Structure 1
Amino acid sequence: MANHKSALKRVRQTKKRTERNRFYRTRMKNMIKAVREAVEAGDKEKALEALKVANKRIHEYVSKGIIKKNNAARKVSKLHKLVNSLNEAA
């Protein structure tokens, strides 16, 4: 364990940051899951609405530093591809 003042502060900051990031990552996973469930149900309107929300939030998390830019781009691209597959199936 850290012994000097600055190291102790770093431990406190890291703990707080980890907790906050965990909250946002879980939230992001749930949004992605909502899009996938809507696609599996075949509900295009619901899928598009969920995709719109997920897209906005995922890019918001990039600006907060929760995830990296390319990670967000990859997730959003995958979701768009999934929702667009509803067009081909119809």
Structure 2
Amino acid sequence: MANIKSAKKRILVNETKAARNKAIKSKVKTYVKKVESAVANNDAEAAAVALREATVEINKAGSKGVYHKNTCSRKISRLSKAVNKIS
């Protein structure tokens, strides 16, 4: 356990940031699952709509520093590829 005041503060700040990152990652995963389920059902319209929503959420996560920009690009690319296959 930390004894120094600044170390105690770092622990609190890190917990706050970790909770925020976890919430954002969870949100992204939910949107990704929506796209994947639409692709699995061969529903091109629903998949396209879900892809647009997922892209926005993934880019937001990237701009907030939760994901690296290349990770965001890779996720979007893979989803786009899957949606384009069923179209």
Please indicate the TM-score interval, normalised by the length of the shorter structure: over 0.9
How do residues 50-65 of structure 1 correspond to structure 2 at under 5 angstroms?
50-65=50-65
Deviations 1:26-58 (A, max 9, x none): 111110000000011111110000000000110
Residue in 1 aligned with 2:27?
27
Shift of residue 69, structure 1, vs aligned partner: 0.3
Quote the RMSD (CA, aligned, Å): 0.7
Q: TM-score, normalised by structure 2?
A: 0.97
- Segments of 5+ residues of structure 2 without an aligned counterpart are none
> Deviations for 1:59-88, whole angstroms, at most 9, x for unmatched residues?
01111111110110110000000001103x
The residue number in structure 1 matching 2:17 is: 17
The amino acid that maps onto 1:33 is: K
Q: Unpaired runs of 5+ in structure 1?
A: none
Aligned residues: 87
CA distance in 2, matches of 1:22, 1:60: 14
Distance in 1, Cα, partners of 2:57 & 2:30:
11
Percent of pairs with identical residues: 39
